[in-house]
Amino acid sequence: MVVEKNAPLQPCNTFGIAARAQTLVRIHASSDVLAVLADPQLAPAPKFVLGGGSNIILTGDVKPVVLKMEIKGLRLVEETPKAWIVEAGAGEAWHDCVAWTLANGFPGLENLALIPGTVGASPVQNIGAYGVELQDRFESLDAIDLATGQSFTLDAAQCGFGYRDSVFKHGAPSDALDANGLPRGMGLQGRAVITHVRFHLPKPWKPVLGYVDLERRMADEGVQQPTAQQIFNWICEIRRAKLPEPAVVGNAGSFFKNPTVSPDQCADIIAREPRIVHYPMPDG
Protein backbone atom coordinates (compact mmCIF):
# COMPACT_ATOMS: atom_id res chain seq x y z
CA MET A 1 0.00 0.00 0.00
CA VAL A 2 1.47 3.33 -1.08
CA VAL A 3 0.05 6.35 0.80
CA GLU A 4 0.65 9.86 -0.53
CA LYS A 5 -0.16 13.11 1.27
CA ASN A 6 -1.27 16.31 -0.49
CA ALA A 7 -1.21 14.41 -3.80
CA PRO A 8 -1.82 16.35 -7.03
CA LEU A 9 -4.96 15.19 -8.87
CA GLN A 10 -4.47 17.28 -12.01
CA PRO A 11 -2.98 14.31 -13.93
CA CYS A 12 -5.77 12.08 -12.60
CA ASN A 13 -8.81 13.76 -14.21
CA THR A 14 -9.52 14.37 -17.89
CA PHE A 15 -10.57 17.98 -17.32
CA GLY A 16 -7.09 18.54 -15.91
CA ILE A 17 -8.56 20.41 -12.95
CA ALA A 18 -5.88 21.38 -10.47
CA ALA A 19 -6.88 19.87 -7.15
CA ARG A 20 -5.19 17.85 -4.45
CA ALA A 21 -6.06 14.81 -2.41
CA GLN A 22 -5.27 15.21 1.26
CA THR A 23 -4.56 11.47 1.26
CA LEU A 24 -4.22 9.22 -1.78
CA VAL A 25 -3.64 5.48 -1.66
CA ARG A 26 -2.54 3.66 -4.80
CA ILE A 27 -4.43 0.38 -4.94
CA HIS A 28 -2.31 -2.22 -6.74
CA ALA A 29 -4.08 -5.30 -5.38
CA SER A 30 -7.23 -6.26 -3.49
CA SER A 31 -5.05 -6.66 -0.41
CA ASP A 32 -4.31 -2.91 -0.53
CA VAL A 33 -8.02 -2.19 -0.02
CA LEU A 34 -8.04 -4.53 2.97
CA ALA A 35 -4.89 -2.83 4.30
CA VAL A 36 -6.65 0.55 4.11
CA LEU A 37 -9.60 -0.87 6.02
CA ALA A 38 -7.26 -2.31 8.66
CA ASP A 39 -5.35 0.95 9.11
CA PRO A 40 -6.45 2.77 12.29
CA GLN A 41 -6.22 6.21 10.66
CA LEU A 42 -7.48 5.42 7.16
CA ALA A 43 -10.25 2.98 8.08
CA PRO A 44 -12.71 5.43 9.70
CA ALA A 45 -12.21 8.17 7.06
CA PRO A 46 -14.65 8.62 4.14
CA LYS A 47 -13.28 7.18 0.88
CA PHE A 48 -13.49 8.16 -2.79
CA VAL A 49 -12.70 5.57 -5.45
CA LEU A 50 -10.90 7.09 -8.44
CA GLY A 51 -10.32 5.40 -11.78
CA GLY A 52 -9.17 7.43 -14.76
CA GLY A 53 -11.05 10.56 -13.68
CA SER A 54 -12.90 10.80 -17.02
CA ASN A 55 -16.40 10.97 -15.56
CA ILE A 56 -15.93 13.30 -12.61
CA ILE A 57 -15.57 17.02 -12.09
CA LEU A 58 -13.42 18.05 -9.17
CA THR A 59 -14.66 21.22 -7.50
CA GLY A 60 -11.80 21.58 -5.05
CA ASP A 61 -9.36 19.60 -2.97
CA VAL A 62 -10.61 16.14 -2.04
CA LYS A 63 -10.90 15.45 1.67
CA PRO A 64 -12.00 11.79 1.58
CA VAL A 65 -9.18 9.28 1.23
CA VAL A 66 -8.74 8.76 -2.51
CA LEU A 67 -8.36 5.12 -3.51
CA LYS A 68 -6.61 5.36 -6.88
CA MET A 69 -7.35 2.11 -8.69
CA GLU A 70 -4.20 0.66 -10.27
CA ILE A 71 -4.89 -3.09 -10.16
CA LYS A 72 -3.47 -4.55 -13.37
CA GLY A 73 -3.87 -7.86 -15.13
CA LEU A 74 -5.50 -9.21 -18.27
CA ARG A 75 -6.13 -12.92 -18.75
CA LEU A 76 -8.30 -15.47 -20.46
CA VAL A 77 -10.12 -17.21 -17.61
CA GLU A 78 -11.95 -19.80 -19.65
CA GLU A 79 -12.82 -20.74 -23.21
CA THR A 80 -16.00 -22.67 -23.86
CA PRO A 81 -17.67 -23.60 -27.15
CA LYS A 82 -19.95 -20.60 -26.59
CA ALA A 83 -17.67 -17.86 -25.27
CA TRP A 84 -14.33 -16.52 -24.17
CA ILE A 85 -14.33 -15.37 -20.55
CA VAL A 86 -11.72 -12.67 -20.02
CA GLU A 87 -10.77 -11.00 -16.73
CA ALA A 88 -9.22 -7.57 -16.28
CA GLY A 89 -7.93 -5.72 -13.25
CA ALA A 90 -9.89 -2.60 -12.31
CA GLY A 91 -6.91 -0.34 -12.94
CA GLU A 92 -6.38 -1.41 -16.54
CA ALA A 93 -7.14 1.35 -19.03
CA TRP A 94 -10.41 0.42 -20.72
CA HIS A 95 -9.16 0.99 -24.25
CA ASP A 96 -6.01 -1.05 -23.61
CA CYS A 97 -8.22 -3.89 -22.40
CA VAL A 98 -10.31 -3.74 -25.59
CA ALA A 99 -7.15 -3.69 -27.72
CA TRP A 100 -5.66 -6.62 -25.76
CA THR A 101 -8.74 -8.79 -26.25
CA LEU A 102 -8.64 -8.20 -30.00
CA ALA A 103 -4.89 -8.75 -30.26
CA ASN A 104 -5.32 -12.08 -28.47
CA GLY A 105 -8.19 -13.29 -30.63
CA PHE A 106 -11.13 -12.61 -28.28
CA PRO A 107 -13.39 -10.21 -30.21
CA GLY A 108 -16.57 -8.65 -28.87
CA LEU A 109 -15.57 -5.38 -27.20
CA GLU A 110 -14.53 -3.55 -30.40
CA ASN A 111 -17.57 -1.22 -30.46
CA LEU A 112 -16.47 0.11 -27.06
CA ALA A 113 -13.03 1.14 -28.30
CA LEU A 114 -11.51 4.41 -27.13
CA ILE A 115 -13.90 5.05 -24.24
CA PRO A 116 -11.65 6.76 -21.69
CA GLY A 117 -11.26 5.51 -18.15
CA THR A 118 -10.59 2.26 -16.39
CA VAL A 119 -12.01 -1.25 -16.46
CA GLY A 120 -13.17 -0.90 -12.84
CA ALA A 121 -15.41 2.05 -13.66
CA SER A 122 -16.97 0.39 -16.70
CA PRO A 123 -19.79 -1.33 -14.76
CA VAL A 124 -20.55 1.82 -12.72
CA GLN A 125 -22.38 3.54 -15.53
CA ASN A 126 -22.67 0.46 -17.77
CA ILE A 127 -20.58 2.14 -20.44
CA GLY A 128 -21.89 1.95 -23.95
CA ALA A 129 -21.21 3.12 -27.48
CA TYR A 130 -22.05 2.23 -31.07
CA GLY A 131 -24.76 -0.29 -30.25
CA VAL A 132 -23.00 -2.22 -27.47
CA GLU A 133 -23.23 -1.75 -23.71
CA LEU A 134 -21.02 -3.32 -21.10
CA GLN A 135 -23.95 -5.44 -19.91
CA ASP A 136 -23.99 -7.17 -23.33
CA ARG A 137 -20.49 -8.51 -22.70
CA PHE A 138 -20.49 -8.79 -18.92
CA GLU A 139 -19.86 -11.99 -16.97
CA SER A 140 -19.24 -10.91 -13.36
CA LEU A 141 -17.16 -8.65 -11.14
CA ASP A 142 -15.31 -8.84 -7.85
CA ALA A 143 -15.64 -6.04 -5.34
CA ILE A 144 -14.91 -5.21 -1.72
CA ASP A 145 -17.44 -3.60 0.61
CA LEU A 146 -15.76 -0.55 2.12
CA ALA A 147 -18.06 -0.69 5.13
CA THR A 148 -17.35 -4.29 6.10
CA GLY A 149 -14.21 -5.34 4.20
CA GLN A 150 -16.22 -8.23 2.77
CA SER A 151 -15.25 -9.44 -0.72
CA PHE A 152 -18.10 -10.37 -3.02
CA THR A 153 -18.89 -11.29 -6.62
CA LEU A 154 -21.84 -9.94 -8.61
CA ASP A 155 -23.34 -11.22 -11.85
CA ALA A 156 -25.12 -9.00 -14.37
CA ALA A 157 -28.53 -9.27 -12.71
CA GLN A 158 -27.06 -8.31 -9.35
CA CYS A 159 -25.39 -5.27 -10.90
CA GLY A 160 -28.84 -3.96 -11.89
CA PHE A 161 -27.59 -2.61 -15.20
CA GLY A 162 -29.72 -0.03 -16.98
CA TYR A 163 -29.05 2.70 -19.50
CA ARG A 164 -25.82 4.25 -18.10
CA ASP A 165 -26.93 2.92 -14.76
CA SER A 166 -26.17 0.24 -12.18
CA VAL A 167 -26.39 -0.46 -8.45
CA PHE A 168 -23.10 1.42 -8.13
CA LYS A 169 -24.91 4.68 -8.89
CA HIS A 170 -27.58 4.22 -6.24
CA GLY A 171 -27.52 4.56 -2.49
CA ALA A 172 -29.23 2.39 0.07
CA PRO A 173 -32.36 0.57 -1.17
CA SER A 174 -34.67 3.04 0.54
CA ASP A 175 -33.60 5.92 -1.73
CA ALA A 176 -33.01 3.81 -4.84
CA LEU A 177 -36.36 3.43 -6.55
CA ASP A 178 -36.91 2.39 -10.14
CA ALA A 179 -39.27 4.10 -12.60
CA ASN A 180 -42.21 2.32 -10.96
CA GLY A 181 -41.27 3.52 -7.50
CA LEU A 182 -40.05 0.08 -6.44
CA PRO A 183 -36.78 -0.48 -4.59
CA ARG A 184 -33.96 -1.18 -7.03
CA GLY A 185 -32.39 -3.64 -4.62
CA MET A 186 -28.93 -3.37 -3.18
CA GLY A 187 -27.55 0.15 -3.65
CA LEU A 188 -23.75 0.25 -3.54
CA GLN A 189 -22.90 3.85 -4.38
CA GLY A 190 -19.73 4.90 -2.59
CA ARG A 191 -19.61 1.56 -0.85
CA ALA A 192 -18.11 -0.97 -3.26
CA VAL A 193 -14.60 -0.98 -4.69
CA ILE A 194 -14.63 -2.99 -7.91
CA THR A 195 -11.33 -4.86 -8.16
CA HIS A 196 -11.80 -7.16 -11.18
CA VAL A 197 -14.27 -7.42 -14.06
CA ARG A 198 -14.92 -10.49 -16.22
CA PHE A 199 -16.29 -10.28 -19.74
CA HIS A 200 -18.35 -12.83 -21.64
CA LEU A 201 -17.38 -12.60 -25.30
CA PRO A 202 -19.79 -14.79 -27.29
CA LYS A 203 -18.79 -17.29 -29.98
CA PRO A 204 -19.16 -17.21 -32.86
CA TRP A 205 -18.33 -13.53 -33.02
CA LYS A 206 -20.96 -11.43 -34.77
CA PRO A 207 -20.38 -7.80 -35.72
CA VAL A 208 -22.68 -5.18 -34.23
CA LEU A 209 -23.32 -2.76 -37.06
CA GLY A 210 -26.33 -0.58 -37.78
CA TYR A 211 -24.88 2.73 -36.66
CA VAL A 212 -24.97 5.28 -39.47
CA ASP A 213 -21.28 6.13 -39.06
CA LEU A 214 -20.28 2.48 -39.30
CA GLU A 215 -22.52 1.80 -42.29
CA ARG A 216 -21.02 4.81 -44.02
CA ARG A 217 -17.50 3.47 -43.45
CA MET A 218 -18.50 0.06 -44.80
CA ALA A 219 -19.94 1.68 -47.91
CA ASP A 220 -16.94 4.00 -48.36
CA GLU A 221 -14.47 1.13 -48.09
CA GLY A 222 -16.60 -1.38 -49.98
CA VAL A 223 -16.56 -3.81 -47.04
CA GLN A 224 -19.64 -5.93 -46.46
CA GLN A 225 -18.36 -8.22 -43.72
CA PRO A 226 -15.94 -6.26 -41.57
CA THR A 227 -13.62 -7.94 -39.10
CA ALA A 228 -13.60 -7.00 -35.43
CA GLN A 229 -10.27 -5.24 -35.99
CA GLN A 230 -11.75 -3.15 -38.82
CA ILE A 231 -14.68 -2.12 -36.61
CA PHE A 232 -12.22 -1.25 -33.82
CA ASN A 233 -10.14 0.87 -36.21
CA TRP A 234 -13.18 2.62 -37.67
CA ILE A 235 -14.62 3.41 -34.26
CA CYS A 236 -11.30 4.85 -33.10
CA GLU A 237 -11.21 7.08 -36.19
CA ILE A 238 -14.86 8.12 -35.86
CA ARG A 239 -14.47 8.93 -32.17
CA ARG A 240 -11.23 10.87 -32.73
CA ALA A 241 -13.00 12.96 -35.38
CA LYS A 242 -15.94 13.70 -33.05
CA LEU A 243 -14.48 14.34 -29.61
CA PRO A 244 -11.27 16.07 -28.61
CA GLU A 245 -8.58 13.89 -27.05
CA PRO A 246 -8.82 14.60 -23.28
CA ALA A 247 -5.02 14.74 -23.03
CA VAL A 248 -5.07 17.65 -25.50
CA VAL A 249 -8.34 19.41 -24.63
CA GLY A 250 -9.70 18.62 -21.17
CA ASN A 251 -13.25 17.24 -21.30
CA ALA A 252 -15.51 14.58 -19.82
CA GLY A 253 -17.16 13.39 -23.02
CA SER A 254 -20.85 13.85 -23.68
CA PHE A 255 -22.94 15.18 -20.82
CA PHE A 256 -26.16 13.95 -22.38
CA LYS A 257 -28.11 10.73 -22.15
CA ASN A 258 -30.52 9.72 -24.89
CA PRO A 259 -34.10 10.27 -23.71
CA THR A 260 -36.26 7.19 -23.09
CA VAL A 261 -39.85 7.63 -24.30
CA SER A 262 -42.96 5.45 -24.38
CA PRO A 263 -43.89 3.59 -27.62
CA ASP A 264 -46.73 6.10 -28.17
CA GLN A 265 -44.43 9.08 -27.75
CA CYS A 266 -41.91 7.44 -30.08
CA ALA A 267 -44.57 6.88 -32.75
CA ASP A 268 -45.64 10.50 -32.41
CA ILE A 269 -42.06 11.75 -32.85
CA ILE A 270 -41.47 9.46 -35.86
CA ALA A 271 -44.68 10.76 -37.45
CA ARG A 272 -43.31 14.28 -37.21
CA GLU A 273 -39.66 13.46 -37.97
CA PRO A 274 -39.52 10.17 -39.93
CA ARG A 275 -35.70 10.11 -40.05
CA ILE A 276 -35.27 10.37 -36.27
CA VAL A 277 -32.67 7.88 -34.99
CA HIS A 278 -34.31 5.61 -32.40
CA TYR A 279 -33.73 2.22 -30.78
CA PRO A 280 -36.18 -0.08 -28.96
CA MET A 281 -35.66 -0.66 -25.24
CA PRO A 282 -35.69 -4.27 -23.98
CA ASP A 283 -38.87 -3.59 -21.97
CA GLY A 284 -40.63 -1.98 -24.94
Ligand X SMILES: Cc1cc2nc3c(=O)[nH]c(=O)nc-3n(C[C@H](O)[C@H](O)[C@H](O)COP(=O)(O)OP(=O)(O)OC[C@H]3O[C@@H](n4cnc5c(N)ncnc54)[C@H](O)[C@@H]3O)c2cc1C
Which residues form the interface with ligand X (CB under 6 A)? Answer: 14, 49-56, 69, 90, 115-118, 120-122, 124-125, 127-129, 168, 192-194, 243, 246, 251-253
Name the minimum Å distance from CB 252 to ligand X.
Answer: 5
Query: DSSP 3-state assignment of 111?
Result: helix
| Distance, CA of 226 to CA of 135 (rounded, Å) | 23
Q: Closest by alpha carbon to 61, among 109, 97, 12, 125?
A: 12
Name the minimum Å distance from CB 25 to ligand X.
Answer: 13
| Distance, CA of 174 to CA of 177 (rounded, Å) | 7
CB closer to ligand X out of 207 and 253:
253
CB closer to ligand X out of 55 and 86:
55
Name the minimum Å distance from CB 43 to ligand X.
Answer: 18
Instruction: Name the DSSP class of 258.
Output: P
Strands 192-202 and 138-145: antiparallel
Name the minimum Å distance from CB 56 to ligand X.
Answer: 4
What's the chain's Rg over C-alpha atoms?
20
Name the minimum Å distance from CB 263 to ligand X.
Answer: 25
CB closer to ligand X out of 132 and 201:
132
Question: Is 112 in contact with 128 (CB distance < 8 Å)?
Answer: yes
What ranges in 130-260 are assigned the alpha helix state H?
156-159, 212-221, 228-242
Name the minimum Å distance from CB 70 to ligand X.
Answer: 10
What ranges in the chain are assigned the alpha helix state H?
30-38, 94-103, 156-159, 212-221, 228-242, 263-272
CB closer to ligand X out of 223 and 247:
247
Q: Closest by alpha carbon to 1, among 93, 45, 67, 90?
A: 67
CB closer to ligand X out of 73 and 263:
73
CB closer to ligand X out of 164 and 203:
164
How buried is residue 233: exposed, middle or buried, by Cβ count under 10 Å (0-12/13-18/19+)? middle
Name the minimum Å distance from CB 114 to ligand X.
Answer: 8
CB closer to ligand X out of 19 and 269:
19
CB closer to ligand X out of 95 and 200:
95
Q: Closest by alpha carbon to 52, among 122, 108, 3?
A: 122
* Terminal-to-terminal C-alpha distance of the chain: 48
Q: Closest by alpha carbon to 113, among 125, 126, 97?
A: 97
Name the minimum Å distance from CB 54 to ligand X.
Answer: 3
Task: State which amino acid sits at residue 98.
Answer: V
